[in-house]
A = this chain, B = another copy of it.
């Protein structure tokens, strides 16, 4: 029996006959030869049917194949220098599993609404497939980093009684006991509890924001990775973030050459990032840079997209902006001992216009100070457990959240984060 092979491992079968199971992506043919661009999910490969070498019916069948027909191809694996993957198939047989008529996504241009309506099919296209492969490798790279550095994965709950940052932008549902529950925007507070049990932990799961915003950087459902570390302070927190980002990019550069090429990604800026130290500037320095460049930007406000782009263009590298004014950051951030109006936290801005991908900080660990914050924020009893983390076994600790889709959009060099996930959930889109 001929062996079943996969395109991503086809190099193991040179000069052997194999069977490939998949789909015809497209073809071109003349009177003498048909080139089938065949995909099996693991990759794309050119399969060649030469009229003079095969029975007449096979050549006719090959020439008449339609896009996205399901086929089994039998053929010989050959080295081929001109192939983007280095191999080609000389076809000896084709079995049609199912013939497809009128596949809706043709090689012509389609509008984005049409493509999103057909997202369940659009993901078969080489470009969309490449993005989903990069996504999977970004996840694999990040996990490998955490595994190698003593982190334990912990899964915080999605259904929460409320949020420390208010419930305005949260999806609400009725829990089975009749109470209101909200879909988590962040597992951070729970991850702080986990860090006190397991030392170094990270979460990897979906988060939700019910905002009606409609930008290239927002989705209503997106994935976050949230590490939290006991006995780690602000400086080390940034070092770990830098190491994670470098490790992830290095991993993708090693495992996704084919996909990054399919995306026309310029590799130079990514390769540079792996080698160079990320600059760290204070929020005050960032404001100064913006003002020097002619922006009318007042101290004390959050940056918008043009400001983030200006700052990263200035360095052409990811940049940490640290020591923000406390009043524009979250209640749990540790004050700077040198100036309690500032916090020991940083945002990491990605270059090439991608902006904020990480937000992190040292967390307040002093019980009295956290109690004061609770009074200022008027928290009710539902956060008592979080306060108790400072009452029992409190230690300095830090953590951060990295947005998976923004990181992928940056690494892939694509315009809109909706293409970084199989089924995007945006303002007007709950289908498919």
Residues of chain A at the chain B interface (Cβ within 8 Å): 6, 8-9, 21-23, 40-42, 68-70, 97-98, 100, 103-104, 118-121, 123-124, 128-129, 132-133, 135-136, 139-140, 143, 147, 150, 152-161, 171-177, 179, 181, 183, 190, 193-200, 205-206, 208, 210-212, 220-221, 223, 230-231, 365, 382, 385-386, 388-389, 391-396, 421-423, 425, 427-432
In the complex, what residue of chain B is closest to A128 when comparing beta carbons? B197
Pairwise interchain contact B392-A103, C-beta atoms closer than 8 A: yes
Pairwise interchain contact B205-A432, C-beta atoms closer than 8 A: no
B residues less than 8 Å from A211 (CB atoms)? 176
Q: Can you add 7 more A-B contacts, CB < 8 Å, to A21-B230, A120-B386, A158-B221?
A: A42-B200, A68-B393, A97-B395, A104-B392, A123-B197, A159-B221, A171-B173
B residues less than 8 Å from A23 (CB atoms)? 196, 393, 395
Pairwise interchain contact B41-A230, C-beta atoms closer than 8 A: yes
Pairwise interchain contact B159-A430, C-beta atoms closer than 8 A: yes
Pairwise interchain contact A21-B231, C-beta atoms closer than 8 A: yes
In the complex, what residue of chain B is closest to A389 when comparing beta carbons? B120
Pairwise interchain contact A154-B136, C-beta atoms closer than 8 A: yes
Question: A231 CB to closest chain B CB, in angstroms?
Answer: 4
Contact of A156 among B9, B161, B422 (CB under 8 A): B422
Question: A252 CB to closest chain B CB, in angstroms?
Answer: 14
Q: A118, A129, A382, A425: which has the most chain B beta carbons within 10 Å? A: A425
B residues less than 8 Å from A206 (CB atoms)? 155, 158, 205-206
- Complexed CA–CA distance, A198 and B375 (Å): 52
- Complexed CA–CA distance, A424 and B172 (Å): 19
B residues less than 8 Å from A392 (CB atoms)? 68, 100, 103-104, 121
In the complex, what residue of chain B is closest to A123 when comparing beta carbons? B197
Pairwise interchain contact A133-B152, C-beta atoms closer than 8 A: yes
Contact of A132 among B121, B177, B198 (CB under 8 A): B198
B residues less than 8 Å from A231 (CB atoms)? 21-22
B residues less than 8 Å from A365 (CB atoms)? 98
Question: A180 CB to closest chain B CB, in angstroms?
Answer: 9
Pairwise interchain contact B70-A175, C-beta atoms closer than 8 A: no
Pairwise interchain contact B394-A199, C-beta atoms closer than 8 A: no
B residues less than 8 Å from A140 (CB atoms)? 147, 153
Question: A200 CB to closest chain B CB, in angstroms?
Answer: 7
Pairwise interchain contact B104-A6, C-beta atoms closer than 8 A: no
Known contacts being A143-B143, A183-B173, is A388 close to B159, with CB within 8 Å? no
- Complexed CA–CA distance, A153 and B123 (Å): 14
Known contacts being A70-B395, A392-B104, is A197 close to B132, with CB within 8 Å? yes
Pairwise interchain contact B70-A155, C-beta atoms closer than 8 A: no
B residues less than 8 Å from A389 (CB atoms)? 120
Question: A133 CB to closest chain B CB, in angstroms?
Answer: 6
Pairwise interchain contact A196-B124, C-beta atoms closer than 8 A: yes
